[in-house]
Amino acid sequence: MAAPGLGVAEFFRLAESLGVTEVEIRNDLPGRATADGTPPEAVRHAASEARVAIVSINALQRFDQWSPERETEAMDLASYARRAGARGLVLVPTNDGGHGDLASALARLGPILADHDLVGLVEPLGFTTCSLRFKRRAAEAIVAVGGGRRFRLVHDTFHHAVAGEPELFPDLTGLVHLSGVSHRAVPVAGLADGHRGLIDEDDRIDNLGQIERLLAAGYRGPFSFEPFATDVHQLRDPAQAIGRSMDFIRRRLARTAAIGG
């Protein structure tokens, strides 16, 4: 999502040029792998050529509204992910005001993920319209099905802020999504995906604080940029902008560590 205009091989080379060794790819970008029919083996080869590992494919949508069609979709996507060399599959809940059955979906997904040696990355979305708004509910459901090895949480800094949820679950977190918000005309609770950009000094949703707290609590997994803002997607030189945001985060984290805070 940080550079949706690039083909998958170009994207992997972008990551390599930035010194990034792990990436997340999506299945919802028209005309791009995986949505354009690129064979998973070609995706695996391109990742290997750029010396990057694929953390996850994002995503199985409406995963908590289980049906025969959803089962088929899950099996097809899990097969693709495994053959492409991905380690995980992001699971996105219903986000249109509808309801889902989280426990049933996790129980059905567990064997599919196990058969393909994948981790399911459950992503609560924070919005009032979402069937799975809070991480606590997802964490409790994962523990209830004994799925701590097969399922992990996605901590999305934007969704965390929108939900107003103070709790972190570092021991159950498998992936962190990062996006910054500089737009100030809308209350945090009313923000939408289109407000999500790269992180800089104007960020108003405390990305740095969230990162610091997760690291202090023991999280050592991957961080992935997930900006949806049109101005980011239209960048002619995404490498420069992404690199600048990465450098900003590193400098600020280093400064905090240096003063012991």
pTM of the full structure: 0.94
206: which 2 tokens? 């405390």
Q: What is the pLDDT of residues 97-149, one digit of tens each?
A: 889 999 999 999 999 999 999 999 999 999 999 999 999 999 999 999 887 78
Structural domain contains residue 235:
yes
**If pLDDT is split at 50, 70 and 90, which confidence band does 261 have?**
very low
Structural domain contains residue 2:
no
CA distance 213 to 142: 22
Please provide the average confidence, as pLDDT, over all residues in the chain: 94
Structural domain contains residue 92:
yes
Contacts of 168 (CB under 8 A, 6+ apart): 155, 210, 213, 214, 217
Residue 212: CATH number of its domain? 3.20.20.150
Structural domain contains residue 178:
yes
The amino acid at 41: E
Structural domain contains residue 49:
no
Structural domain contains residue 81:
yes
Q: What is the pLDDT of residues 77-111, one digit of tens each?
A: 999 999 999 999 999 999 998 899 999 999 999 99
pLDDT reading at 24 higher than 60: yes
Which pLDDT does position 149 carry in this prediction? 83
Task: For residue 64, give Cα distances in angstroms to 10, 60, 94, 124, 155.
Answer: 33, 10, 7, 11, 18
**Residue 180 has what DSSP assignment?**
B
CA distance 74 to 17: 33
Q: What is the mean pLDDT of residues 184-205?
A: 94
Range of the domain at 68: 54-258
Structural domain contains residue 174:
yes
Structural domain contains residue 29:
no
Total count of domains within the chain:
1
